[in-house]
Each structure stands twice: as structure tokens, then as C-alpha cells.
Amino acid sequence: MCHCSHDDDTKSAVDLSRVWRPDDAQKPAPVKPNAIELYRPDILATIEEKIKELDPELRELSLDIHAHPELGFAEYHAHDVYTAFMIKHGFVVDKQFQLPTAWRATFEVGTGGRTIGVNSEMDALKGIGHACGHNLIGISGVAVAIAIRAALEKHNLSGKVVLLGTPAEEGGSGKVILLEKGAYEGMDACLMCHPAPGPVGSVSLSSCLALERITVEYHGHTAHAALSPWEGKNALDAAVLGYNNISALRQQLKPTHRVHGIFEGKDWAPNIIPDFARFVCYVRAPTVKEMKETVKRVLPCFEAAALATGCEVVIKQTGATFDLRQNKALGEEVANVIRSKYGAVDYTWGISSASTDFGNVTYALPSLHPGFAIPTVHDGGNHTLAFTQSAATIEAHNACLDISKALATTGVRVLTDDAFFADVKRTFEEDKALREGLETGIGGYMEPPSRPNS
């Protein structure tokens, strides 16, 4: 659910209903070149110059991370490569910060200034590598942090930039753990970005789905599947029934809600009644309130399956991530820079139907998590092998640097423009009141925009 202004670029030369493909002749270009008065163009020029200077190093860093995919909480290579890079560029680095593969890189110019936070994700997906483009997210955080430092130093401005290397976004909720451990304390705002399919050169200010993870374990009794099946209690049957119950329930769920999962087992054989089965299930919805309501409807599906098969059931809710609350003031600043200098803005694409642990960060402090389009093949969106390949292309790299420039100049404005920062805080408090109204059932609800098929 997005609370930014929906002044998207529907009248521009960019077709916001069409996905950017690798063979497209059209290239990213600003939809309103120089038509918008930007805050401190001299600062943006410094940021552009610094990121251009870093470009070869960032490209090498991205491809290194891409070539060494690591699962959540095991990003040891990424940890070492990123921390070495930030030390090389003069940052104070805390290795193994709060978690074994998390890290923090800090640089402060002057005294008494505000603090801007940035995030770099690191983990990959089992079997398909960097199919969510975390190599790009990682180098974006690096680029933003170093570019902000360069702007502060060159223009004699005070402020502090804190870059967090955050592990295990894919299922481990690394940012939620870091948030609970205090890693975000002291930040006045926090920024990051995420690649996805979308229109040519477009940046997305969409939200995402809130998510609850549920692990359901069924315990039955083994028996010979042919000789004496009546002696058994089939845990796999229970898991299958739970799955089928959800399939029936899905007909009565809103189309914006998602329930999906997989079966897991141990020591299964076709001639033995399974005495154990696990169903790992995700429930998603546009807001935390809606997600919790759907979870209440899903849980009886598992309980009924246990009752029908005579199995025991253990249900564990293993951690929620929240919808993205895109800060309106931060989003409008990024939108102005993108439209004027690099591309278009939409409120539909990005990761609108996925989920991220950064959603929890947006509930805690003013934050922004724009998506940015990279060229993708048909049916080659996030979490596919094709997207793994897309995340390594030079076009994706260049798109990543463009959004990084917009985020860096927005970060500098947070640090240096008192009126703007007051607006950032005000819009955060307004959204906080709105979401608390949604939690209690008071206040309006805005349906998220529908996303075109990719």
C-alpha cells in the first residue's frame, strides 16, 4: 500500500504497463528533463561524479558477489568482501555486527549532525543463486554510503552515514533481528532499493505484502503400507489435507492475499506409512491487519487435517514481516530526481506482490525502499534462474547506479535541510497514525494499485 503521491508518468514516453526487455531499443531517459527544480544540484553533481569514479570497482564487486551466492546467515564471503571494500574507502567497520555475517560501516563528517542509514543485502536463494538481485542491492548500499560521504566532505556539511550489511532477507528476517538488537537506533532515516521487472528506466514507489511464516508438523504412527495400513496414522496425508483445505479456502480469499507452501519429511519410503510430515506455509496480505485476519482462517485448515487423520499437530508461527510504509517526503524527493535526471516513476511495479523484512524497518523509522526496473525476459521475474542472469547484466548495473544517485542525494538532504527533515518526520507520524488506525479498525483503507502482468 503506497502513501506517496500517485502522480505517475502515464503521459510520458515510457509505457508503464510494459516490461523492459533485453532487446528493447528504448533506453532509460528522464521523463521531465530539467523541468523540476532540484535541491542543491551541486551536491547531486558531486554524487554523480563519485559514483562514476566508483563504477568499475562497483561492477567488479557486484560480479564477485553474484559469482559466490550464499544462503542466509552464511554470507561469509560477502561479509569479508564488503567489509574489506568499506575499510579500503575509509569507513570505520564493525565486522560480525550483532550477527555472524552482519556488518556496519560508519563515516561521520563534522559533529552534531543527523544520521542517515543505508542497507546492503547479501544472501542468495537455494539452487538459483542471486535470483533476487541482492548483488545489486549490496553495491547500491555501498555506492549510496560512499557518495553521501563525498558530498558531505566536499561541501563542508555535517552528518553521519551508517551502512548496515543485513543477512538473510530470504526467509530469515535478518533486518528484524537487527532491529530488535538495536542496530537501527540513532538513524534519523533509512534507505535502500530492490531490482525487479518493470518499465524501461522506471523506479517504483509501491508497497509490498505483509507476511507470516507458519511451520506445521504432523506426528502420526508408522505401519506397513500394504500389510497393515490400519495400524498407521499417516502424517503425510494430514499435511496433504491441510494443503487441500487451504486450496478450498483460497476461493474465498481476496485476490490480493497469498497462501503458499511446501511439504518436508524425513525417512519416507513408499511402503511405510509416514509418521512425520512438515508443511511450511507463508500467508501474505497488503497490510499487517489483513495478514493476521487471514492467518486466523488458515490455522483451522491445519487443525482439521490433524483431526481427520488422527495425527498430532504442532503449529508454530515463526516470524512476520510487515508491509512497506514508503515515507511520502522521501519518496517525493527520489521521484523528483529520477524524473528530472534518469527515468520515470511508477506506483505499481517493484516488489508489490512480494515481501521484505525492510517493511519492519519502515514501521520503526522514516524509510524508503524503491524498486528499480532492470531488463528481464518473459516469465523471468524475481526468484527465477532467468532473473539471476538479468541481475548480472550491464543494463541492470547501470539502473542500479541511477537509483543509487537519487537515494544518495535524498540522504544528503535528510542530513542538511532542516525543513525537509521536518517534513520527513511529519509524514512518518501521519502514516503511523494511519496504520495504527488500520490495526484497530479505525480509519480508511486504500486498495493497493493492481500490477500489470509481467
Res 291: pLDDT? 97
Give whole-number Cα distances, 255 to 88, 249, 439, in Å: 49, 12, 21
Contact 166, 342 (CB under 8 A): no
Residue 454 — very low, low, confident or very high, per pLDDT cuts 50/70/90? very low
Contact 403, 338 (CB under 8 A): yes
All 3 cell numbers of residue 86?
Answer: 568499506
State the Rg of the chain over Cα: 23
Contact 190, 261 (CB under 8 A): no
Res 3: pLDDT? 42
Res 445: pLDDT? 32
6 has a pLDDT exceeding 80: no
Res 436: pLDDT? 84
Res 14: pLDDT? 84
Euclidean distance between CA atoms 17 and 154, whole angstroms: 41
Q: If you ran DSSP here, which 8-state letter would residue 231 be given?
A: G
Give the residue-averaged pLDDT of 3-25.
Answer: 75
pTM over 0.85: yes
How far from the centroid of its chain's Cα atoms is residue 320's Cα? 14
All 3 cell numbers of residue 289?
Answer: 491487519
Q: What percent of the chain has pLDDT over 90?
A: 91
Question: pLDDT tens digit string along 255-280?
Answer: 999 999 999 999 999 999 999 999 99
Res 10: pLDDT? 52
Residue 34 — very low, low, confident or very high, per pLDDT cuts 50/70/90? confident
Euclidean distance between CA atoms 391 and 374, whole angstroms: 8
- What phi and psi, each to the nearest 5 degrees, are found at residue 289? -60, -50
Give the residue-averaged pLDDT of 285-307.
Answer: 97
Q: Where are the beta strands (DSSP E) in 159-241?
A: 159-166, 189-191, 194-196, 202-204, 210-219
Residue 447 — very low, low, confident or very high, per pLDDT cuts 50/70/90? very low
Give whole-number Cα distances, 11 to 16, 17, 29, 194, 346, in Å: 9, 12, 14, 25, 12
Res 449: pLDDT? 37
Q: Can you tell me whether residue 263 is helix, strand or coil?
A: strand
Question: pLDDT tens digit string along 141-186?
Answer: 999 999 999 999 999 999 999 999 999 999 999 999 999 999 999 9
